[in-house]
């Protein structure tokens, strides 16, 4: 399994930060589903029955990422499911509030699986600094993926009548 993504657009970085900050308000942990066309943040209710998503957030790859490389579990199942701390993710992404040139996400193995966030900060005209955060993740086994299927919604229809 391999994953690497790069964000260079400041608006996309700030939007990604806002998503991470919002998720940290809902739950301490979330599942990050990495797919070929989108990444998903899933927060589920903790109960004894089948998992019902409390939050389902889909971010399209072509809007957020300039580069996006994913090699999943197999060619048939080209996805990766990771469980991680939303608090650590939000805290690590908060560096984006500064003047950031690029924001890279990578799946790394540093004794245990980690989601590594690398941010290139502009420190001056000729100087750049790099900020690196490693967030420990738990890789979710293929047999549990069906617990995180996309919810089915009915067609919504809203009608407002003003006298």
CATH number for position 95: 3.70.10.10
Assign 137 a pLDDT band (cuts: 50, 70, 90). Answer: very high
Task: Tell me the CB-side half-sphere exposure of residue 31, using CA atoms within 13 A.
Answer: 26
Cα angle 11-23-66, degrees, rounded to a multiple of 5: 35
Per cent of the chain over pLDDT 90 is 62
Residue 130 forms part of a structural domain: yes
Phi, psi of 45 (to 5 degrees): -75, 140
Question: Is residue 73 included in any domain, yes or no?
Answer: yes
User: Residue 48: what pLDDT?
Assistant: 44
Q: Is residue 159 part of a domain?
A: no
9 burial type by CB count under 10 A (0-12 exposed, 13-18 middle, 19+ buried): middle
How is residue 87 written in tokens?
């608090």
pLDDT, tens only, 42-58 = 998 765 445 677 788 99
Q: How many CB atoms lie within 10 A of CB 122?
A: 12
Collapse the DSSP code of 144 into the 3-class scheme (helix H, G, I; strand E, B; otherwise coil) and give the result.
helix
Report which of 86, 85, 115, 84 is spatially closest to residue 24, judged by C-alpha positions. Answer: 86
* Count of structural domains within the chain: 1
- Give the structural domain span for 18: 2-139
Give residues with Cβ within 8 angstroms of 25, minimum separation 6: none
Question: Would 35 be classed as within a structural domain?
Answer: yes
Rounded Cα distance between 154 and 151, Å, is 10
pLDDT tens, 73-104?
888 889 999 999 999 999 999 988 888 899 99
């Amino acid at each position: 399994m391999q994953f690497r993504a790069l964000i260079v657009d400041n608006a996309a970085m700030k939007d990604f930060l806002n998503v991470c900050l919002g998720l940290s308000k809902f739950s301490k942990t979330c599942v990050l589903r990495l797919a070929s066309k989108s990444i998903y943040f899933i927060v589920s209710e903790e109960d004894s029955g089948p998992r019902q998503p409390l939050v389902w957030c889909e971010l399209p790859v072509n809007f957020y990422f300039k580069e996006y490389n994913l090699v999943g579990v197999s060619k048939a199942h080209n996805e990766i499911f990771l469980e991680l701390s939303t608090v650590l993710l939000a805290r690590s992404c908060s560096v984006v509030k500064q003047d950031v040139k690029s924001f890279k996400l990578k799946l790394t193995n540093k004794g245990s699986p980690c989601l590594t966030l690398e941010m290139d900060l502009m420190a001056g005209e000729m100087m750049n600094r790099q900020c690196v955060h490693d967030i420990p993740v738990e890789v979710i086994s293929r047999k549990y993926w069906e617990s995180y299927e996309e919810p089915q919604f009915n067609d919504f229809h809203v009608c407002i009548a003003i006298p």
